[in-house]
């Protein structure tokens, strides 16, 4: 195994692969990526719902999404790998004045940054997403540039492009420790041996806190279980069916194969690494979905699975050097929107590491913001 590198990226999910690719593309010497599992993308990335949206409530999240959406459109040109990015749009159903006020405020900010997003009436909801019950909806927001991407395409695309740029991707290589001397990173310890390096990128997703701990650092990223259910074929779902979010219920659903994918963020789930499917959680998703799409009463359940969100206290990513140790860079904590932000996330992290001006000012996402009390709360979280 490689015994030295200019940088070791820990984690072969979408954030680690995007970062490794852009580091190599920008010419940052010898880039090594280590992944503990046998295959790439089997962590949160492989469990994700594929949603891509720029309808956030903070400037930084909107900018990360808009840049990433632009990059997704050019993904094949960039990586040589075709990737599904189906711009069917994202719709947020609003059922009271409070929700309307909050989403109207967010829309103002989104529009000021150039996003094309509209406030639509229940009749329009029924036209765009026919089986959705709208009798208790007062308005909805809709952005047609948002949509759905295939996480596996993105993993394969960044991995193949990274390899073409000579990134050494090593699977079944679990990081077990960090060697530091005088407050500086010296090496990464793995089950397959030691890799000496002056720089580590922590892209371990829901496990990022454990990697930081190996260097004696705390990182405010908690694993939180989230579940998904898919249905069998439904002949009333058009191919143009968008991502629909029922804000009141916390439910989201979009077309998946010939049916629907349904998800719900249970706010009562406590942090932990348990990824088993909880039948009560599955039932709660189905009940919420039946309430919003009554026609689902006769639908068959195809699959259900659970995965981990990598959640920070303010639901924003952590991008930047750890203040405690020289040579330790965090790119993690995407709090349920890491797939959609991965293109920009990898690019800006690589730009910062290479000493270039980042395409987006991600200073609000600095790791020390929690200690400084400078959090940037995202309210549009699902
Ligand atoms: C149910 C669900 C639905 C979601 N829906 C969406 C969505 O619609 N849109 C969206 O944008 N995002 C969504 N997300 C979030 C998204 O999946 C994550 O934000 C994103 O995948 C994070 O990517 P990552 O590379 O940081 O983490 P991961 O994909 O988890 O990759 C981290 C990798 O690090 C590896 N690793 C950990 N510890 C070590 C170690 N010690 N040594 C070596 N390797 C290690 C892991 O094995 C893993 O492969 C969803 C997540 C879930 C669970």
CATH number at residue 229: 3.30.9.10
> In this structure, is residue 192 part of a structural domain?
yes
- Count of structural domains within the chain: 2
Give dist(CA 382, CA 81) in Å, integer. 30
Cβ distance 17 to 339 under 8 Å? no
Residue where a domain stops, chosen among 260, 293, 311: 311
Element (H, E) at 25: helix 14-25
Among 292, 311, 330, identify where a domain stops.
311
Structure-token match 């190996």, residue found: 214
- Is the dihedral angle over the CA atoms 78, 84, 89, 90 positive or is it negative? negative
| CB-ligand 1 contact for 20 (6 Å cutoff) | no
CA distances (Å), origin 373, targets 37, 366, 367: 36, 12, 11
Q: What 3-state DSSP class applies to 261?
A: strand
Rounded to the nearest angstrom, the distance between the alpha carbon of 96 and the centre of ligand 1 is 33
With a 6 Å cutoff on the Cβ, whether 266 touches ligand 1 is no
Alpha-carbon gap, residue 70 to 140, rounded angstroms: 24
Same domain, 159 and 273: no
Ligand 1, from 33, 41, 48, 252: best to mutate by most atoms within 8 Å of Cβ?
Answer: 48
Residues 184 and 210 in one domain: yes
Residue 100 belongs to some domain of the structure? yes
**111 with 255, same domain?**
yes
State which ligand 1 atom lies nearest to the alpha carbon of 174.
Answer: 42
Which of 311, 331, 356 marks a domain boundary? 311
165 and 137 inside one domain: no
Taking a C-beta distance cutoff of 8 angstroms, is the pair 326, 353 a contact?
A: no
Please report whether residue 238 resides in a domain. Answer: yes
Do 215 and 320 lie in a common domain?
yes
Does the CB atom of residue 13 touch ligand 1 within 6 A? yes
Q: Return the half-sphere exposure (C-beta side, CA atoms, 13 A cut-off) of residue 178.
A: 28
Quick one: 306 and 325 in the same domain?
Answer: no
CB-facing half-sphere around the CA of 187: CA atoms within 13 A: 11
Cα distances (Å, whole numbers) of residue 250 to 92, 239, 285 = 10, 24, 10
Alpha-carbon gap, residue 72 to 41, rounded angstroms: 18
Nearest CA to ligand 1 atom 15: 336
Q: Is residue 21 part of a domain?
A: yes
CA triple 186-191-192, angle to 5 deg: 85
* 284 and 241 within one domain: yes
Q: Do the Cβ atoms of 251 and 265 come closer than 8 Å?
A: no
Same structural domain for residues 173 and 137?
Answer: no
378: in domain: no
Please give the Cα distance from 177 to 127 (Å, whole number).
55
Distance of CA 103 to the CA centre of its chain: 21
Question: How far is residue 25's CA from residue 268's CA, in Å, rounded to a whole number?
Answer: 42
Which pLDDT score, from 0 to 100, does residue 82 have? 96
**Ligand 1 pocket residue status of 336, Cβ below 6 Å:** yes
Measure the CA–CA gap between 41 and 76, rounded to whole angstroms.
Answer: 19
Residues 181, 304 within the same domain: no
Q: Is position 62 within any domain? A: no
Indicate the SS3 state at residue 247: coil
User: Do 329 and 367 sit in the same domain of this protein?
Assistant: yes
Looking at residue 381, its pLDDT comes to: 80
Same domain, 256 and 274: yes
Determine which helix (DSSP H) or strand (DSSP E) holds 212, and give its type and residue range: helix 208-214
Residues 226 and 299 occupy one common structural domain: yes
Low-confidence stretches of the chain (pLDDT beneath 70): none
Q: What distance in Å separates the CA atoms of residue 11 and residue 188, rounded to the nearest whole number?
A: 13
Question: Residue 81 domain-assigned?
Answer: no
Q: Which two tokens stand for residue 379?
A: 């309210």
For residue 44, what pLDDT is reported? 98
Q: Identify the domain containing residue 366 by its residue range.
A: 7-49+152-221+314-372
Q: Is the CB of 89 under 6 A from ligand 1?
A: no
> How much is the pTM?
0.97
> Are the beta carbons of 208 and 310 closer than 8 angstroms?
yes
What is the Cα–Cα distance from 248 to 99, expressed in whole angstroms? 8
Return the CATH number at 203: 3.50.50.60
Domain assignment of residue 2, yes or no: no
């Amino acid at each position: 195994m490689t015994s030295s590198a200019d940088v070791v990226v820990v984690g072969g999910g979408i954030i680690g692969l995007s970062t490794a690719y852009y580091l190599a593309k920008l010419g940052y010497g010898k880039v090594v990526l280590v992944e503990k599992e046998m295959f790439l993308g089997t962590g949160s990335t492989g469990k994700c719902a594929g949603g891509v949206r720029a309808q956030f409530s903070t400037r930084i999240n909107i900018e990360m999404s808009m840049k990433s959406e632009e990059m997704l459109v050019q993904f094949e040109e960039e990586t040589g790998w075709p990737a599904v990015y189906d711009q069917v749009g994202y719709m947020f159903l609003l059922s009271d004045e409070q929700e309307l006020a909050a989403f109207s405020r967010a829309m103002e900010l989104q529009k000021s940054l150039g996003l094309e997003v509209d406030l639509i009436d229940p009749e329009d909801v029924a036209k765009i997403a026919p089986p959705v019950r709208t009798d208790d909806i007062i308005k909805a927001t809709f952005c047609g540039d948002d949509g759905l991407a295939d996480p596996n395409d993105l993993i394969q695309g960044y991995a193949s492009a990274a390899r073409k740029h000579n990134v050494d991707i090593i699977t079944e290589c679990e990081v077990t420790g960090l060697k530091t001397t005088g407050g500086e990173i010296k090496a990464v310890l793995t089950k397959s041996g030691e890799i000496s390096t002056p720089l580590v990128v922590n892209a371990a997703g829901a496990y990022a806190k454990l990697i930081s701990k190996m260097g004696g650092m705390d990182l405010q990223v908690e694993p939180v279980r989230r579940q998904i259910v898919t249905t069998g074929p439904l002949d009333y779902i058009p191919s143009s069916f968008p991502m629909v979010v029922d804000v009141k219920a916390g439910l989201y659903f979009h077309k998946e194969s010939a049916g629907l994918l349904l998800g719900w963020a249970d706010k009562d789930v406590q942090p932990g690494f348990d990824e088993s499917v909880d039948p009560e959680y599955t039932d709660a998703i189905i009940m919420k979905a039946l309430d919003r799409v009554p026609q689902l009463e006769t639908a068959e359940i195809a699959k259900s699975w659970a995965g981990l969100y990598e959640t920070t206290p303010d639901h924003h990513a952590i991008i930047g050097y750890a203040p405690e140790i020289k040579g330790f860079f965090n790119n993690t904590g995407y709090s349920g929107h890491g797939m959609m932000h991965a293109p920009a996330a990898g690019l800006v992290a690589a730009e910062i590491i290479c000493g270039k001006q980042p395409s987006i000012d991600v200073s609000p996402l600095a790791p020390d913001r929690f200690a400084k009390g400078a959090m940037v709360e995202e309210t549009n979280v699902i």
